[in-house]
Structure 1
Amino acid sequence: MALVGFPLWWIAGLSGVIAILAAVPMAVQLARRRRVFVPPGFGWWVLFLVCVVVGVLTLWADAPGAVPGGGASRLMVWGYRVAWYLACTIALLWAANSDPRSVSERRVFQLFGWMFVVTAAGGLLGVLAPTLELRSLVELFLPGGLRSNSLVRGIVHPGVADIQTVLGRPEARPKAPFAFANSWGANISLYLPFFLVAWLKQGKRWQRLAAPLVLAVAAMPIVYSLNRGLWASLGLGAAFVVARQVVRGNVVAIVGTALVGGIAVAAFLLSPLSDLVGERLENQHSNDRRGQLLSQTVSSTFEGSPVIGFGSTRDVQGSFASIAGASTPECPACGVPPLGTQGHIWLVIFSQGFLGTFLFLALFVTSLWRTWRCRTTIETVCTCLLLFFALQMWVYDTLGMPLFTIMLTIGLVWRSQHPDETPYRGPRRRTLQRMVRDVWAARRVYAAAVAIGILVAAVAVVRQPQQSVARTSVLLAPSPVYLTTAIVKASALPRDITIDTEAALVFSAAARDAAASGPAGADDALTDRIRVTAAPRTRVLNIDVRSTDPRRAEAESRSLTERYLELRRDYLEKRRDQMLEGLRDRLAQMDLSSGGADDAEDLSADVRAREREAIDSAINNLILTSTTAGEVVRANSAVEVRKPMGVLVASGIILGIAAAAVLSVLAPRVVQAVSRPGLRRRRLP
């Protein structure tokens, strides 16, 4: 029902949570079973879920390069992602334990094939009526504060397309019936293998006749989506199909595929869509910003919380163009997406750390290892989906229906690989109940490991010196606007001083040497203790200095600010003097040329007089131009920096749990001896 009525759920504003709601009856069905069997690699996934849950302790930790602090909305976003991970887990177990007689593979293929049709229709609607928006039923009952939240609005507010300037002009990128354009691209590619099997291979006659028409209709929004990840996924899928046919040696299928592919490519090249694709491939402007964001995501995680991550995403301090940069209603792209976005793998790295990333990937690697031979249809489809996922997780946030679809497919594959060991015919070796019993039996080991981890974290917190930070805020005076006329060559004009140039001036050796304190004089480590930020879209520069001594932090912050303002004033005066010298040299050249030039080649008297008048006026303006550097608007007292207690405690907990789990697998007898110290082994006679 969740998939059949998906268009209605979208109109109602529930498409973003319908799978979570559908997981509730699935969980009820699983709870009624005496045994719930788990597929290989499920233990890795359970540990990953533990990382996600423990990550709540790190939600308010400050990440390097991110905006400090955070409100209650961060907890809401974390809870939403936890709900999706749990829903995907339930879908995996439900599919693996479902009765093949009531939940057949054919039925699942038809449902996901239907979702391809729905997604293609929504994409076509986004192309034909890109400005269409609806007010959902859920949106009517939400409080105004929630409706204004960008994440909530994207989920509950039905829209058919996102208007973006990817090609330098407004372009509609289809997204219906999902919340975002990239989600549309991920879902339609994952539903395509199901559609091909359900309609072309297993479908009724009318489905086989209608399938080419549906594919032709879907081609239009696929191209207009400007979605390079989707295009790459389809190319990978085509290569996978050809490779499978070559391995099997099916000459007829190879020739048929090549013929159909050639006709499709020729039709595409002759259509106007080919020009749109070529234009999109020429506009790769987002690559640099995406690369900078991903690099900062990894470096921030490695520096701040490599084991457990930061629990959720963080807003970037400033932008990559300027430390005072931020998005505006006129320029939404002027800002930077949060750290941990632009790809599911980056979300996992930033939110769950490198240990969580390893645990996250383990289940999918294990599943791919069991399906890559493609012995059955469901194995072939699952392999194709896992290949798509391996590509898309680098560029798409696939937490949602894409991951839900993949987990369902993995469960069905595992069920099909054990036809003689279904829950209705015989036992299997591993069940969820047994996993719970094993963990409960080894609870002393887990408790001891977690206690040791917390103890080590507490020691690290105590041993870490208490840092204090002093902030001085400076309102910069606007840089003088010099005359940009033909009087002086453009190359001789002084460049405008940006706020990023000012930040670099703060870090200069001249400023640091004057600000450094202590018996050793200049402090080489002062650079690492300085942090310069700016209020978004302002000329207010914030200079922070950290130190273990609060008084020293305050003194260095004041000294650094004073010296910086002196340097800025000297720089402005120097640039003014250079400009004056250039204008006076121009006057001297005019006097020389007027004395030696012929009347025919010389400028007319009135033109020369106007130029001389303009130069004199420019010189007077420069002499009267103020070179004020700025003023200190606030000098805060030093405040203590919060120690990363949440990060250290969460890291200690997850490392303790992981160590106990590994010990339970590698040395079960040791775990048994520790867990049951009162039991003695029977001695042999």
Structure 2
Amino acid sequence: MTAVGESATDLRTGGPSRRADGIAPVTSIPVTSMPVSSLPARSGARSLLGPGWPLTLLLALYPLWWALGLGVLVFPLAAVPMAVQLWRRHAAGRPVRLPPGFWLWLAFCATVVAGLAVLDVDPEGTVVAGFGDRITAVAFRLVQYAALTILLVYAGNLSTAVLTQRRLVNLLGWLFAVTVAGGLLGTFAGSFEFTSPFELLLPDGVRGKSFVKSLVHPYAAQIMDLVGDPAPRPAAPWGYTNTWGNNFCLLAVWFAVAAFAYRTSLRTRILAVATLVVSVVPVVHSLNRGLWIGLGVTAVFVAVRQALAGRVRSLIALGVVGAGLIVALAATPLGDVVERRMDNGKSNGVRMFLTERALAGFTESPVLGFGSTRNTVGGRNSITVGESAACERCGNFTVGGNGQLWQLLFAHGLVGTVTYFGFFGYALWRFRRDRSAIGLAGTAAIAGSFVAALWYNSLVTPLAFTFLGYVLLWRNEQTRPGA
């Protein structure tokens, strides 16, 4: 990757004055040639508690939020001060910039709200329930979509004098390191879990519900039988194995930018390489084929973009890394784990069953969908099979729970699907000429999210990180001369 440029407001000590809300004025300043290393140093406390603190605290202290039992619940909490700062900016007569193509995202959100009108409809083959039975999960999604929308606008309006591009990249790179640490914890201490402080505050009848427990009860791994024996699959600190794998892909590119695209010490780069090498262990032990495919797609995407820009060394590097990985898998027990996973496709039948149900539901309500997911009657082999305390995964599968694409088609129809992917597709087109390290990483993350939509759901943290990648691309565009 090429070196990353910063805006003039990032690099000079005499830039525009900082406002109380930390949000930048609309005008842009041309890029200077001053090196990134000339950025003035800040104390840790000032960086955490200064202007822009809601976003900084949200990302930098996410392991703490997870341990406290807040996890993804921290996003709506952080959105409150973000919204207040945006409102103060508006009240002061300073325009709030909106992301390019934002009308597509607003159209998607409107579709989600319109889906409330059909919550009491029961598609064929799903469990009969009413509006009141489904509104809790739907309200959770609505709140999270609203919170992440505020995050997107707030982060895009933060002045680069308050939150530099490099600092935001570093925060995302830090979360990749957290993901690797959580993966190692899940691999070697899969039974690790504890009751969080927030969980203790909840009534027994509430915290005992499986959905609530998945939000407030920290655990290292999900124990699943995929290769013959129950084995831990890393999940910390993201709650689910699939979410862990999705976030690993989304954050890996930013870790690479933070470690190798800026001027960093040799010690930092050695530590980064060691982190990447060690990360192979939880990646393999996650038994997550979607993660494996996603990493391959991301690597190829970056290499091809570099090659099209005349940097053919990236293709050579990709070949060397690929060959080294093959040798490592062949020479270590990790190769046996991969082989067993490929030979055992226990989840294939369930995924195909849910995909068929999602497409069948789409044909029943192709325009706006059914407003939310539904649970199937029975399992894929018999309608008499259902979920129970003794077998929580025996039936009543969630239609739309096997990938963002299938959830959008079933829950929000053609309108929701087109507007959701249209927003991110527009970003790929809009920022296609950005060949900086941030441009490569941001477009790779968004492109990877399209592939991940076949088997991963995006709410909450994967969508948040995709939005922040969008923000980095958007801010990069604003700092170019003539923007």
| TM-score bin, normalised by smaller chain | 0.7 to 0.9
Q: 2:325 aligns with which of 251, 257, 264?
A: 264
Shift of 1:64: 1.8
* C-alpha separation in 1, matches of 2:265 and 2:434: 24
For residues 296-351 of structure 1, the C-alpha deviation after alignment (integer angstroms, 9 at most, x for no partner) is 11212321x32222222111112221121113344333214211211112222222
Q: Which residue of 2 aligns with 1:101?
A: 161
Whether 2:67 is the aligned partner of 1:11: answer yes
CA gap 1:420/1:272 in 2 versus in 1, 3 angstroms? closer
Deviation by residue 1:524-551 (Cα, 9 ceiling, x = unmatched):
xxxxxxxxxxxxxxxxxxxxxxxxxxxx
For 2:148 and 2:429, the matched residues in 1 are separated by 20
Q: Contact (CA 8 Å) 2:446, 2:469: kept in 1 or not?
A: no
Contact 1:95/1:415, CA 8 A, preserved across alignment: no
Q: Find out whether 1:276 has 2:337 as its counterpart.
A: yes
CA deviation after TM superposition for structure 1 residue 355, in Å: 1.4
Q: What CA distance in whole angstroms lies between the structure 2 residues aligned with 1:225 and 1:85?
A: 28
Q: How far apart, CA to CA, are the structure 2 residues paired with 1:14 and 1:150?
A: 16
Q: Is the 8 A contact 1:51 1:352 kept in 2?
A: yes
Letter in 1 for 2:477: Q
Tell me the SS of whatever aligns to 1:163: strand
Conserved? CA contact 2:82–2:151, under 8 Å? yes
* Partner AA of 2:159 in structure 1: D
CA RMSD of aligned residues (A): 1.9
Q: Please, which of 233, 236, 244 is the counterpart of residue 297 of structure 2?
A: 236
Q: 1:373-392, aligned counterparts within 5 Å?
A: 373-392=433-452
Which of 52, 77, 85 in structure 2 is aligned with 1:21? 77
2:406 matches 1:350: no
Cα distance in structure 2, aligned partners of 1:408 and 1:253: 25
Query: Cα offset for 1:421?
Result: 9.1
Tell me which moved more, 55-64 or 41-50.
Answer: 55-64
The aligned residue for residue 398 of structure 1 is: 458
Structure 1 position 109, deviation (Å): 0.8
Does 2:155 match 1:86? no
Structure 2 match to 1:419: 479
Distance 1:381 1:256, change over 3 A: closer
CA distance in structure 2 between the aligned counterparts of 1:399 and 1:280, rounded to whole angstroms: 26
Distance of 2:281 and 2:130 partners within structure 1? 42
In the alignment, is the contact (CA less than 8 A) between 1:378 and 1:413 conserved in 2? yes
Task: Give runs of aligned pairs for residues 66-465 of structure 1, distance below 5 A.
Answer: 66-70=126-130, 72-202=132-262, 203-303=264-364, 305-419=365-479
Distance 1:388 1:350, change over 3 A: same
Question: Residue 62 of structure 1 aligns to which amino acid in structure 2?
Answer: D
Give the structure 2 partner of residue 471 of structure 1. Answer: none
Task: Write the deviation string for residues 82-137 of structure 1: whole angstroms up to 9, x where unpaired.
Answer: 11111221122122222111111100110011001111001100111111111001
Higher-Rg structure is 1
User: Aligned residue for 1:30?
Assistant: 86
Could you tell me how far apart the structure 2 residues matched to 1:318 and 1:252 are? Answer: 53
Supply the distance in 1 between the matched residues of 2:213 and 2:265 (Cα, whole angstroms): 40
Q: Given residue 312 of structure 1, which amino acid in structure 2 is its aligned partner?
A: S
8 A Cα contact 2:221 2:236, kept in partner: yes
SS at match of 2:242: helix
Q: Which residue of 1 aligns with 2:115?
A: 55
State the secondary structure of the residue aligned to 1:172: strand
Cα distance, 1:178 vs structure 2: 1.3
Label 1:377 to 1:251 Cα distance change in 2 as closer, same or farther (>3 A): closer
SS of 1:167's equivalent in the other structure is: coil
Q: Report if aligned partners of 1:327, 1:336 keep a CA contact under 8 Å in 2.
A: yes
Q: What is the DSSP-based 3-state SS (H/G/I as helix, E as strand, rest coil) of the residue aligned with 2:59?
A: coil
What residue identity is the alignment partner of 2:293? A
From the superposition, tell whether residues 251 and 420 of structure 1 become closer, same or farther in structure 2 (CA, over 3 Å). Answer: closer
Instruction: Answer yes or no: is the 8 Å Cα contact 2:257–2:438 preserved in 1.
Output: no
So what's the TM-score if we normalise by structure 2? 0.83
Contact 1:371 1:380 in 2 (8 A): no
Q: CA deviation at 1:419?
A: 2.7
Q: Relative to 1, partners in 2 of residues 1:254 and 1:348: Cα closer, same or farther, differing over 3 Å?
A: closer
Q: Which residue of 1 aligns with 2:58?
A: 2
The residue type equivalent to 1:10 in the other structure is W
Which ranges in structure 2 are unaligned for 5 or more consecutive residues? Answer: 1-56
Query: Per the alignment, in what secondary structure is the counterpart of residue 451 of structure 2?
Result: helix
Residue by residue, what CA displacement relative to the aligned partner does 1:57-92 show, whole Å, maximum 9, x if unpaired?
Answer: 222222221111236352111111111111221122
Unaligned runs of 5+ in 1: 423-427, 429-685
Q: What residue is the counterpart of 2:14 in the other structure?
A: none
- Measure the CA separation in 2 of the matches of 1:418 and 1:253: 27
Taking only the aligned residue pairs, the percentage that are identical comes to 38
Decide whether aligned partners of structure 1 residues 32 and 183 sit closer, same or farther in structure 2, where only a CA change above 3 A counts.
Answer: same
Q: CA deviation at 1:250?
A: 2.9
